[in-house]
Structure 1
Amino acid sequence: MAGPTTTAAQRGARRTNGTSSARSRPSRPGPRGGRTRLPSPRTVLVVLAALALVASTVWVLYGSKWLRVRDVTVSGTRVLAPARVEAVAAVPLGSPLASVDTDAIAERLRRELPRIDSVDVVRSWPDGIALEVTERKPVLLLEQGTKFVEVDRKGVRFATVDRQPRGVPLLRLTADQSPSLRRFDTERLIREAVGVAGELPAAVARDTRIVGVRSYDSITLELTRNRTVVWGSGEAGEAKARALTALMKASPKAGHFDVSAPTAPAASRS
């Protein structure tokens, strides 16, 4: 009885060992599992063509002699000399047009030429830079000795000139003793006067010689033919402009107009 039992046990052990060996063997990859697919020739050609296109574009823009700055044009100037604008711009002639720092040129122009209100620096392909300038326009003048300081619609003092530009009124500030200076400084009063000048009807603006400011709410106009206008504060400017236009049409021979209260304007001969 002992013999068959031992034999059966040995067969069972062999089966068990065989199973363990089979489980411990590393699995072989399938016929497709470990194979790396290479790109097709068509894909390789497309990639190479794209790289060649990028390289040629970069070379044309930055390395070739065809797209380099050769010409600078200036437009929009009325007082400034175009040659002066071009000199301050300092556009790097001969440099690749694509590499020109247009923002830096614009900033330099605005900083060194305060008369410039805005400027567009435009690449003009294939080889030009265009400087499109907008100059500040004076709406009032401040006397400074024998010269005049120009003030634009934003209240910016941007230039000093020897002669009074035609059609630009003087600003006369007499607010030294005004209590309003405690609340509104000189710069604020100048801005108020600028605002009034901007609200004037065109016909009145042409005839205005002096804008007087005694305080925040006491602004007057001196016109041609010894006419005066009491404007009051800078508030309700559009309504005051309409009232003044109507008064001048209704009383063309009047010499004094008061629109400080635009709902109750008044006109008189003196």
Structure 2
Amino acid sequence: MAGTTTAERGERQQESSGPPSGGRRPRLRLPLRLRLRTIIILAVVCVLLAGGGIWVLYGSPWARVERVTVSGTRELTRQQVEEAADVPVGAPLISVDTDAIEARLRRELPRIDSVDVVRSWPRGIGLKVTERTPVLLMRSGGKFVEVDDDGVRFATVSKAPEAVPLLEMTVSRSGSAAASLCRFDERRLTREAVLVADSVPARAARALRVVKVRSYDDISLELSGGRTVAWGSAEQGRAKSRTLSALMKAAPGARHFDVSVPTAPASSGS
């Protein structure tokens, strides 16, 4: 029998070594029925996972509100905050309307300046409260109305907090003062008084007892020891503060200071 020729040996070697260099190997494709079965199984798994997640969040007893925590209060009590918040204990935690709770707290408790309602998974609601701080007080009968740094009258107390000056509104309703009141209502004048109190230099602030408002541009201060300051309007607060500091240092025995025009200050009395 004749031996294998050189050409035949070359063909067999090429067949055994696969496709030529740079050629593509044929892809292994799953049968259509197997691919459909895989897709259906994956879809069922996704539906089951989604349904299980929804049940855990809304239907299971593991993610329902069981406790409410309150932090940040000073004057308010925990009970007051909890009652005003009216958190739906027992409801699914995911369904609690935190915005509605915040709005309810601010409406029911004006002393609250801001509040952050947070979900504490898996079973809690946290109420982080920031209370308003009084910077001025207004007399109301035998009590005091607290005013914050935005000019908001937020609470009435029977005892005046220490080191908080009084605000006296003595606006006349006749003449030029009446015209000022028509242009700047009491709410605006209250904010102006707050600006003045905030601008008073530290040395005078420690002695500040009363801020008197007669009109927008007629605000004065009463300090301890019978001393007074004519401040004018709340405008140029920084310049007036620097001028008052210099006057009090230059004339420590003076009883009356006028910084209503900070470029032409005056002091008198001794």
Give the equivalent residue in structure 2 for 1:8. Answer: none
Aligned counterpart, 2:186: 186
Aligned to 2:201: 201
* Residue in structure 2 matched with residue 268 of structure 1 by the alignment: 268
Q: What is the CA-CA distance between 1:96 and the residue it aligns to?
A: 1.2
Q: Tell me the matched-pair count.
A: 234
Relative to structure 2, which stretch is displaced further, 198-207 or 220-229?
A: 198-207
Distance 1:207 1:46 in 2: 76
CA offsets 1:111-141 (integer angstroms, 9 cap, x no match)? 1111111111111112111101111111111
1:103 Cα deviation (Å)? 0.9
CA distance in 2, matches of 1:74, 1:108: 15
The alpha-carbon deviation at position 64 of structure 1 amounts to 1.4
**Is 2:250 aligned against 1:254?**
no
Residues 192-214 of structure 1 show CA distances to partners (whole Å, capped at 9, x for unaligned) of 11221122234432321100111
- The range that moved more, 94-103 or 182-191, is 182-191
Q: Partner of 2:245: helix, strand, or coil?
A: helix
In structure 2, the partner of 1:133 is 129
1:72 maps to 2:68: yes
- Gaps (5+ residues) in structure 1? 1-36
1-side partners of 2:162 and 2:58: how far apart? 49
5 Å matches for 1:20-99? 40-99=36-95
SS of the aligned residue for 1:260 comes to coil
Partner of 1:40, secondary structure, is helix
**What SS does the corresponding residue of 1:143 show, helix, strand or coil?**
strand
3-state DSSP of counterpart to 1:213: strand
Identity of aligned residues (%): 61
**Mapped partners of 2:236, 2:87: distance in 1:** 47
Separation in structure 2 between the aligned mates of residue 232 and residue 63 of structure 1, nearest angstrom:
65
Normalization by structure 1: what TM-score? 0.81
CA gap of 1:110–1:182, structure 2 versus 1, over 3 A, is closer
Which of the numbers 105, 111, 116 marks the counterpart of 2:112? 116
Which residue does 1:231 correspond to in 2? 231
Instruction: Supply the distance in 1 between the matched residues of 2:41 and 2:264 (Cα, whole angstroms).
Output: 85
